[in-house]
Chains A and B, each alone.
Chain A
């Protein structure tokens, strides 16, 4: 069989697996939808999200031209949600990327080299794990000052330990497998072995963990923004929208409900995707470890 046909066969199998798990399929469809809505918010949103229209404050969902209603300043909720998706997704994604960059590197190096490096990194990981991450994040954000960049960096710094632990555990078992020793016999440097042999075999595990962590970070961002320590207005995230809508909860329930539903669905979809990824990568991992 030619290589191209083999690749297509592999993709076809993946698609079949996806189709079997309706939840995962639904999650991906939803996420694609959210992604498109956020990326093309400028073109697709019916209104300018910052456009205030005090004459039309607090309109219920369904009233003329405002599918999800308007907020206290007359801004269209749907448009704000589409624009808010950008920051919500971006912060979650970038935060995970930073955390993974830091965590996977340290975890892999610690797991491969062992010795003092491992002891040191493990101690740091253990100690940091003892802190509740939300507490640490809050403290750092408060002291440094809120802002998108701060949030991303603090997220990365506070959650790298999860990735480090996973990477280290996987590396510990991988390094005992003979192909690693074969490379050492060839004379490959440790760095090369880690990069070209260990990391590719870790990929499926750490990616599925990464996806799950992204869900956590999105919740964290929403929580912080809700409490006022996260992203600041006039930027828009879903968490911030909920905070702004909280005061009107008695009469304008939609201000809090819709952004919350968006977060909830997105987080659930991302989590399901993560779980599904872990499920399909598991047999691959097992194939890796032997027959």
Chain B
């Protein structure tokens, strides 16, 4: 990673950076043969850097397979990173284990994409939401627990009387609210939202996004908001990072990146988002990308996007990986056009 970015992180560390990720790499091994020997690795996340300030949201976008979900899992140490550092609340998570890690988990939580499988169907809502409280022995009194569960349900705008019901009695949107309540039970500092609205219909999407923004303000939460839907990301995020094949290609303030995308890939992604105004929509030029996402086992040499890039320059783009250049304040792009 470029010295500039490194220096930037060092300086800002003094301020309210909840999460600082350096050169994160998460690989999945592939096995073959009689004795199951590893013969290759899927390089899902191959060296990314970013940071999140307290009370702010970083949106992580990209198409399927770009590694954004794995990033979310990796940050929470639900997958062991192959390399890199994750500084959360000034502690390096990659060097934390066992009981220390468990204690830190109170402060970082996750909301999953599918509300139908992220809640244990054999447990009541109260039991699901109070699990974090019981596991970390925060509250032991039965009645206090019940009150806390009611308070949490209230926070996500659900009727506290529903605490004794089972997940299958609720709609998708309601289940997602339950998931949010569970995530907030221990008052975390960071919440990873892994495509939290992708499985919901459009009106419910809006409701849940609003809820998340609302709660962020109330509780000073930081979000790592992962999504493939740019319009949603833009509404929720302060900063946006665009991922492709395990690397970040562009990162910057949300409005800036969405109004003035610099990387060819970002530009293509944005052009795919429909504009509500039918006239403008018809008039504008669509940017399409040919080909498919290459395999993450053997990524292309140099800039990973070069096989599909319309700005491809032979001898440059397929040889060297482009460094990050700061186009404007806080807006970085990794592309040889600017190198």
Contact = CB atoms under 8 A, between A and B. Distances in A.
B135 A186 contact: yes
Interface residues of B, number: 27
A108 to B, nearest CB: 15
B84 interface: no
Given A185-B76, A287-B168, A179 B105 contact: no
A123 interface: no
A288 B121 contact: yes
Given A287-B168, A291-B116, A185 B121 contact: no
B110 A185 contact: yes
Contacts of B43: none
B119 A179 contact: yes
B136 interface: yes
B109 interface: yes
A185 B242 CA distance: 25
A196 B130 CA distance: 13
B122 A182 contact: no
Contacts of A186: 105, 109, 131-132, 135, 182
A177 B117 contact: yes
Interface residues of A, number: 23
Contacts of B122: 197, 200-201, 288
A178 B114 contact: yes
Interface string B85-106: 0000000000000000111011
Contacts of A12: none
B118 interface: yes
B117 A290 contact: yes
B225 interface: no
Interface in A185-213: 185-189, 192, 196-197, 200-201
Nearest to B167: A179
A13 interface: no
A201 B120 contact: yes
A181 interface: yes
A183 interface: yes
A21 interface: no
A184 interface: yes
Given A182-B118, A197-B122, A200-B123, 6 more contacts: A177-B117, A187-B103, A188-B135, A197-B120, A200-B122, A289-B117
